[in-house]
Structures are given as structure tokens and as C-alpha cells.
Structure 1
Amino acid sequence: MNISQSLYQAAGIPAMQNKLFSSRAEALAAPSASLELIQDETGLVFNRCFDPALAIYDDSYQNDQGYSLQFQEHLDEVSDLCCKYLASKDNLVVDVGCGKGGFVELLRRKGVEAVGYDNAYQGSSPYIRKSFFNIDSHEKGDLLTLRHVLEHISSPWQFLDGIAAANGSQGLLYIEVPDLEWILESRAYFDLFHEHVNYFRADDFSRRFGEGVVFQSRSFGGQYLSVVINLECVRACAENSLPCESDAGLQTAFAKLSKYEDERYASLTDYHEIVIWGAAAKGVVFAAKAPPAIKNKIAYAIDINPRKQGHFMPISGVEVVDPAAGVLKLGPSSLIVIMNPNYEQEIRRSLPHDQPCLVLH
């Protein structure tokens, strides 16, 4: 298979979509990056232009979705799923790459023994280790969780080999990643990011781990893949993983996505003012990639995360405001662009009943 065949390209996108800035000038000067998606010999789609020097995770990185009731429900479902794989609540769950530690706290509120590892952790929880999970870690888990980490790793299969080795090749691993098939089905071009090195499909895990996959499904309205792997199988699976044939349908799906991207922006030409609801990754990329004539119509963005409010989105320089202030500023003809259909009903309850809205499905 020719792994150099380009599936999708983009330039001038934010290097990190979840890093907001305190001034418009800083946001407009934010680091940009390129995207070129190709498929390797295993079938995995990845960004050949990924630059790790541009992916710096520090205090200014803000991707917490926990302020949404809809997302809280998703986390609750994930925690319940994880509990099903524990023989007892005395079993230990280790959240690898735990971020702010919210999932660890949720599990502990349910009576589960849980700890987290994240080298960039900034809190003071006694249950979070400010370090990487490796062979020298404090604890080995009965269940490891790896939520929205693997898509950021340059060599994901080797990374999972290391995770298994660090846990003594014992226990189970829950993985959650964005689902490339959902992105393509939904033509969600704004879900293609520089800092996401990899784009996974269900078959990627099946080819790699075979019978080691003990559970697999879509979650969060189909946007995510949820996978449970038996860590005892990881080493053997690495030696016996199946090759992947070239997928002509993949090229066609990306072509349809690119066409939709052009059509979607063209459809906004007649609107006088556009307001983005959702200043997370989708909204940031949507604004950054908008043609100048459309970008100039984007008045501001609304987000319920207080840590985003008062800041500016990279590349586009669009300001983020809180929902109350944002709704007050709306005009009768302002178009609300709802970036994530999962939050549509939650958002509409905050809007006048006749407010024009576009939900990006």
C-alpha cells in the first residue's frame, strides 16, 4: 500500500486548539500548524505533518468539558462501564493521562479505589501522581483507563506495549478516542486537529488486538470509540497483527468531507452576524479555517467553561464570553452555530425560541 497518498490536507490551523489567549493580538499570533492525513501499513490514519515541538501542554491548556450536563452523563456512563469490569470495589483503577483528575474523583465518589497519573497535573489531590505511568509507577491497576490520550501519541501501538509492560501485562485497559468513522459520516472537518496525531476506527483495534478486544462500542452520541483490551494479549497481538489493504472508500469519504467543508462556509455568506456556541476544539477550528469573508462575520463565541471566558481563540482571535452575556448581545438575525449536536438541546434552552440556529451535524 502507498502510505504517502494524501487523504486530507490543511494549513494554517491552530497548533493546539485548546490553548486560549488573554488578548486578541496574542491569539492572532498563535502558533499555526499543518495537517496531512495519510494511512500507514497497519491501516491507521495519522497526521504526517505533526510537529511535537508545537504540542506543549501547560497551565494554559484548557479542554475540560465537565461543565456540560450532557458530558457529565457521558462520564457517568463510562464510569459505570468501568465498574462492570472490576471484580470488587477494592480493585484499583489507574487513570493514565488523567488531566485535571475529574474522572478519578468521579470513580472515588462511587466508592471505587482510583488514582491518576499525569505529568502536567496542577492540583493537590493525594490520588493524582504528577508523573508518567511507567514501569516504576507507584501502583499497578486491575483496570487502566486511557481517555483521549492515544490520539495525541506519535507511536500509539508502541505506547500501548509500554502501558501493558508497566502494568505487568495484567488486567484490562479501557481506551476512549474520537471515532474517525463518525467524523467522516458527519463530515466533521472541524474535528481534524494538528494535535491529534492519530485517527482511529474500530477495525484498527480489531486488527491489532484480535481476541484481546473484550468490548467495543461507540459512545457519546457515536463520536467516541470505547474499547476494552485484555493486557495479557498485547505482546502477542503486536507480533501477530494483521496488515491492512488500501481502502478506496476512505479516499472517497475524505473527498466528500472536503467538499462539504467548502459548501458549509459558502452557505453562511448571506448572514450578517455569526455567533459560535462552543469554544472547544470544534469551534476553534471552525473559526480558524473560515474564509476571511466568513471570519469577519463571527462576532464572538459562547462557552460555559469559565476558564475560557474572557479569552480569545487561536488564529481567528474570536473572543469567548459567558452564556448570559452572549445571549444578551444576540440580535434577532444573529445566527448561532452550534458546534456539537450532542449539546443542541442543552443550548437551545438558553436561547429565545425563534433564534436562528445552525447545528453542525
Structure 2
Amino acid sequence: MDITLAFCNSCGFIYNSSFDTSIDYYTKGYEDQQGFSPTFTKFITEITNRFINKYNVRNKDVVEIGCGKGDFLNLICELGNNRGIGIDPAYLNGRSKPNPNVSFIKEFYSSEHGNLPNDVIVCRHTLEHIHNTKTFLDTIKQSIQTKNEVIVLFEVPSVVRILKVQAFWDIFNEHCSYFSPGSLARLFKTSGFEVLDLYQEYEEQYLFIEARVSQNSSQQIHAKEESVEQLRKQVNEFVLKINHQLNSYKKLFQKLKNENKKVALWGGGSKSVGFLTHFDEMKVIKLVVDINPHMQGNYIPGIGIQYVSPEFLKSFNPDVIIIMNGIYRNEIREILSKMSLSPELICL
């Protein structure tokens, strides 16, 4: 499938103009849980507690759009003694601990869900999968109706980091929309929301926006918003540097191949697909490690490399491990140390 990134010169929105809306990417076996990582669990717990304290999200009704397997919804309801409803066609029963205050609806979000109680609406890592983002936000605004006190929290990958480090592995088919702080804020403001806060976390990989419906058109610019011109400059630099980035990895893989190194990649999901698609013909990486047990045993589509557990590395004894997300380096180093393994680690 082709990916053609286009840039809007009016608002800075970046999107895949070749995105095929007829394909069902999410309802059949889409795996997205991150809660098996202590690093991620610590991060999301801190973020959630901060949000709860900031807006007094206690004993409230929380709706999560695109709730995945329900991890975050259960967390915010547990920490704040809240009631929650998760909406996601890919939700699977039994993947999170039961909570009598939390229920799930296996559907795509629509205007029909506007009657659900909603003091807080959360949408994490879903907007980047939405093709018509403005219509989606309009639907959410209609759901809120006249309840101006409803707090909305969105989280998406930050395209600024992708552009800055030429993270081509974070550009893949399931993501049709890419946001910077500026373009995300402009989208919310043109959709009738007031931006309450805007920030990047997790080594600037994730972009958060907190907002509420505004009866007046908001023109206030948040300190984190970049201009369209600034973002265009970053896009142009990405275009100039990306081929050098790709060539440097090809040279690295050729060197590892010439030295007969045993190479594994750590980190499954779309990142690994996006990365390996460029280098599969070199046949250097033999397996992909992931701590998510629901990934293990499956194969990367179109490539055929199998996802394995960390324990598998005992018998494989790799010389080199490429870490798809460098934020997990210490966690991975600790796992390897417990298995008496000390391969070279290359962090993306």
C-alpha cells in the first residue's frame, strides 16, 4: 500500500492522501496494549494522576473513545473512583481486570453515543487513525451539547519528533493523520473548542491536548503551538534528510551481515513493520521480541518474521539488539541482564 504524506499550507495538518478508507484496519486482531511494560505503566499512571488532580476527575462519568482493551479507562476509574464507558469495535472481553463501574460498547463512536453520561471524554491514540478528523471532532462536540464544563483529553503521536529524528518507522498505513502541537490546537479551535493545555511527554513522542467546548471562537495561541511556517520548515528538513537516514541503516545492516552478527529487533507492532519494510530484503534481522504475550507467536505481515518472547533470546544469544523505542532501553537492559545476556544495543 502506498503512503503519500501531504501538508496543508493553511493549518499544517499532515495526512496520508493515499489512505484507503475501504480497509478495516482495527476490528480484527488489532493489538495495541502497552501495559505489560513497567516503564509505560509508571508513565501512564503519573499522567493519569496529574489529569485527575488538575480537573478534579473524581466520582465522574468518563467516556473513552477508542478504548482498546480498556487499560486506561480502568486506570482512570480506579484512581479517581470514576464510572467509565469504553467504546471500541476491537475491545476484547477478559483482557483487563473486571471493574463493576466500567462497561464497554463494541462499536465505532458515533452521534448515537451522545446520550451517554460524559463529564470527561478521553480519546488516546485514536485520532491519528481517523481520516476525516474535523467531522469526528464535530460529532464529539455534538455529544457534549451545552455542557461546557465537560473536559476533553486527546493523546496522539507527535509528528514533530518524527520530523526531527526522521523516524520513518512511525509512518505507517494505520496512521492517516499526523499532528503537531500547532496543527492539533488549530483543529480543536476551528471545531469550537477552547484549548486548556497542550504538551508533549514520553521523550516528546506523545502529544496531549486538554480542551472544552467554547461558545466563542478561540483565537488564543498556546505557548507550545508552532506556526505553519515553522512546521513547514521542519517538513522540508525531513525531506532533505530522510534518504540519508535510510542509507545509514542500510550501511549498518550490510556491516552486520558481513560480520555474520546475529541480530534481533525489540518492539513489535506497527513500528517494527514500518522499520523492517525498508530492510527486509537484506535478511539481517531474524526475529522480533515483544513482552506482550498476545503478540508472541504471530508473524509480521508481508515479512514473515515471528514475534517471540524475551526468554527466546536465551537460545538465540543475539550479538546485537535494535530497540525500536529507546525509552525502554533500561527496562530491556535489565531483562537481558537477568538472562546473562549482554548484546550490543542500538536504540532508535
Shorter-chain TM-score: which interval? 0.7 to 0.9
Instruction: Give the C-alpha shift of residue 281 in structure 1.
Output: 1.8
- Identify the range of structure 1 (60-69 vs 201-210) with the bigger mean alpha-carbon deviation: 201-210
- Unaligned 5+ runs, structure 1: 1-32
RMSD in angstroms over aligned alpha carbons?
2.4
Which residue does 2:140 correspond to in 1?
A: 163
Q: Is the counterpart of residue 311 in structure 1 residue 298 in structure 2? A: yes
Residues 246-274 of structure 1: per-residue CA shift (max 9 Å, x gap): 82442122321332122122222121222
Instruction: Give the C-alpha shift of residue 66 in structure 1.
Output: 1.1
Distance 2:25 2:174 in 1: 10
1:349 to 307, 310, 334: 334
Letter in 1 for 2:203: G
1:252 to 212, 237, 242: 237
TM-score by length of 1: 0.82
Letter in 2 for 1:67: F
Which residue does 1:100 correspond to in 2?
A: 69
Instruction: Give the C-alpha shift of residue 236 in structure 1.
Output: 3.9
Distance 1:169 1:356 in 2: 57
2:199 to 205, 213, 217: 217
TM-score by length of 2: 0.85
Distance 1:164 1:354 in 2: 52
The share of aligned pairs that are identical, in percent, is: 26
Distance 2:314 2:272 in 1: 17
Which residue does 1:35 correspond to in 2?
A: 3
**Number of aligned residues:** 320
Q: Is the counterpart of residue 143 in structure 1 residue 120 in structure 2? A: yes
- Unaligned 5+ runs, structure 2: 220-226
2:107 to 111, 114, 131: 131
Distance 2:47 2:133 in 1: 22
3-state SS of paired residue (1:151) = helix
Instruction: Give the C-alpha shift of residue 85 in structure 1.
Output: 4.4
- Identify the range of structure 1 (208-217 vs 172-181) with the bigger mean alpha-carbon deviation: 208-217
Identify which of structures 1 and 2 has the higher relative contact order when contacts are C-alpha pairs closer than 8 Å and 6+ apart: 1
Instruction: Give the C-alpha shift of residue 312 in structure 1.
Output: 0.7
1:118 to 71, 74, 88: 88
Q: Is the counterpart of residue 54 in structure 1 residue 23 in structure 2? A: yes
Instruction: Give the C-alpha shift of residue 140 in structure 1.
Output: 3.1
Which residue does 2:254 correspond to in 1?
A: 269
Distance 1:347 1:277 in 2: 9
3-state SS of paired residue (2:86) = strand
- In structure 2, do the counterparts of structure 1 residues 301 and 132 end up closer, same or farther at CA, with 3 Å as the change threshold? closer
Instruction: Give the C-alpha shift of residue 114 in structure 1.
Output: 2.1
Letter in 1 for 2:232: D
Which residue does 2:346 correspond to in 1?
A: 358
Distance 1:131 1:279 in 2: 26
Q: Is the counterpart of residue 285 in structure 1 residue 274 in structure 2? A: yes
